[in-house]
Amino acid sequence: MKKIALGLAAGVLAGAAGAADIVHQSFGEIAFKTERLSSNESDYLKLPNAWAKAYGSFNKSLKLSPQIAEMVRVRVGQMNRCDYCNVFHTNDALEVGIVPAKVHSISTWRTSGLFSDKERAALAYAEALSSLDHEAMPAAYQQLDAVGFSAVEKEEITNCALLMDVWARVFLAQGKTSYLQVPQKGGEAASKPPQAEAAKK
């Protein structure tokens, strides 16, 4: 666990240079291989990449709190069982200053006392939206107003959640699978298997 945590921390620095590319980021010792759809001949990644630049982690000008944005991304990634999403956004959640205990509790926020009313409202809304929960949605949306989110912030929460749903399905089609890179004697991680991509979302 310690080695993985160090790898994630190193990924913050390594990923900064390639921040504009969502699907090719560095996570230290954690790498990803693509087991299925590896082509992009129709440039199908252009639209989700553009959406990510507008509402993803690399846009630092959102009105929404960076911490709440990352909590939403992590939670939707968890709900979608998206390996790449969870590695990427757990890393980013720590980078924006969410304490580790809180990051680890995002999946159990409903029974945790670590989350503010605003954070709980955003998470409830994101869950309802991502799961297409028509029964829960009206109350979840009303709670966004009750805790004081602005119209722009509500739009950003919505797009953060929807964007995660899209990328989770892209990565499912691609067959993105994580593995630990094998350290070499000089301390550098060997790229194994050969088709693996050093990645971050």
Whichever domain contains 142, its CATH number is 1.20.1290.10
Give tens-digit pLDDT for 125-151.
999 999 999 999 999 999 999 999 999
Task: Kindly report the number of other CB atoms within 10 A of residue 28's CB atom.
Answer: 24
**pLDDT, averaged across the chain:** 86
The residues pairing with 145 across neighbouring beta strands, listed in sequence order, are none
CA distances from residue 34 to 90, 106, 117, 166, 199 in whole angstroms, order as listed:
21, 27, 39, 17, 10
126 lies in some domain: yes
pTM over 0.85: no
201 lies in some domain: no
Give the domain range for residue 139: 33-174
7 lies in some domain: no
Find, among 145, 90, 93, 94, the residue nearest to 122 by Cα. Answer: 145
Distance CA(151)–CA(62), nearest Å, equals 12
188 lies in some domain: no
- Asked if the bond preceding 48 is cis, omega within 30° of 0, the reply is no
25 lies in some domain: no
Q: What is the per-residue pLDDT for 191?
A: 54
Enclosing H/E stretch for 171 = helix 151-174
Q: What is the per-residue pLDDT for 117?
A: 98
The residues pairing with 151 across neighbouring beta strands, listed in sequence order, are none
Q: pLDDT band at residue 24, thresholds of 50, 70 and 90?
A: confident
CA 181 from centre of chain: 21
Residue range 67-87: average pLDDT? 97
67 lies in some domain: yes
Counting the structural domains of the chain, the total is 1
18 lies in some domain: no
8 lies in some domain: no
Q: pLDDT band at residue 6, thresholds of 50, 70 and 90?
A: very low
